[in-house]
Amino acid sequence: MKTIKFLITAIVLLASVSGSPLQAQNVSYAGTSVANFLKIGIGARAAGMGEAYMTASRDAFSQFWNPGTISRVENMSLAFTSINWLVDTQVNYVGVVLPMTVGTFGVDVDYFGTGDIEETTVQEQDGTGRFFNASDMQVGVSYARNMTDRFSFGVKLKYLREELANVQADAFAFDIGSLFITDFYNQLRIGISLSNFGSKMQFDGRDLRVVYPVADSPSNKEVPAVLETQKWELPLYFRFGVSTDLITFGNSQLTAAFDVLDSRDHEARENLGLELGISDYLFLRSGMRFGYDEAGYSFGAGVKIGMAGVGDLRADYAWTDFGRMNPVQQFSLVIGL
């Protein structure tokens, strides 16, 4: 019965994906999605493991990877990460997960910012002296429940907003995910999720309100107008993953994880990660991404210490190679109360 429930959930998710234009009939949807900050992997532990994390997560970062896993977080968890992203941009994320008798609830905020950018024009290509910025934000609320001792299901509702100078766009979306813990090979974990299924985004704002002069008008008459923008899809993607402890020795273990990611605007990608936990104190990680344009191998490390009155605190660091771009560094803190 437990396996049947898992398979039913998998079928529902796959049916949802097949009803979308995910790589349909050799049509390329590259560059047709907005809110692409949602593709940036959250959490230094996840990054260090090559983003093969959707079944390995067990903290507040789980809300990003697979909401179906947050019900396996035993205690209240608070997580924060800061990412020095590409071309001097920054990503910050904070999330909290709270287990309760009726299920597990979570809240998270994901923010991407460019900082100040100097305006340039055709006439002033070295800069006008005026500055603007771009930003993206996600606010999410998650809920998950253990349907059995081995099967979990969760959903996340989120509000999205993008801003560029004086234009902005909004959307609502949801993620659904599940986790099945098997009774073989050190409790192999199998997960499946669908992310960013929601409304389209359409930009509006002050910068789209323009004035056009009327040609050959003796009175220099001007006509106000509003530029209309197209509606754009969110980066819908489907993820499948497995993870398990390959080797256990005392209070130490070697964990392996593998994810497959399929999106509407790129071909399927694979993620492979390893984590060596030594005495539940020191963690060494490495990972590899396959099918990405630039992102490749990564490595990371973390330490976990006990804090009186707070619980365990884990500090993590990850370094990711981005080929022709500068490498990306990520720092995270997780507090388990």
Tens-level pLDDT at each residue, the chain (337 residues): 554 455 445 545 544 544 444 444 556 667 778 999 999 999 999 999 999 999 999 899 999 999 999 999 989 999 999 999 999 999 999 999 999 999 999 999 999 999 888 888 888 888 888 898 999 999 999 999 999 999 999 999 999 999 998 999 999 999 999 999 999 888 999 999 999 999 999 999 998 998 888 776 666 778 888 999 999 999 998 999 999 999 998 889 999 999 999 988 888 999 999 999 999 899 999 999 999 988 999 999 999 998 877 778 999 999 999 999 999 999 999 998 6
Angle at 53 between CA 244 and CA 19, to 5 degrees: 110
Residue 293: what residue type?
A: D
Q: Are 23 and 32 in contact (CB under 8 A)?
A: no
Q: Output the pTM of the full model.
A: 0.88
Residue 244 placed within a domain: yes
Residue 308 placed within a domain: yes
Q: How far is CA 122 from CA 128, 131, 208, in A?
A: 10, 16, 19
Return the structure tokens found at 49: 């493991």
Q: Are 263 and 235 in contact (CB under 8 A)?
A: yes
Q: Are 132 and 165 in contact (CB under 8 A)?
A: yes
How far is it, in rounded angstroms, from Cα 215 to Cα 208?
21
Residue 87 placed within a domain: yes
* CATH of residue 186: 2.40.160.40
Instruction: Identify which of 158, 154, 142, 139 has the alpha carbon closest to the alpha carbon of residue 196.
Output: 158
Q: Are 260 and 269 in contact (CB under 8 A)?
A: yes
3-state secondary structure of 330: strand
Residue 26 placed within a domain: no
- Our count of domains for the chain comes to 1
Residue 184 placed within a domain: yes
Domain residues for 136? 2-18+45-120+128-281+289-336
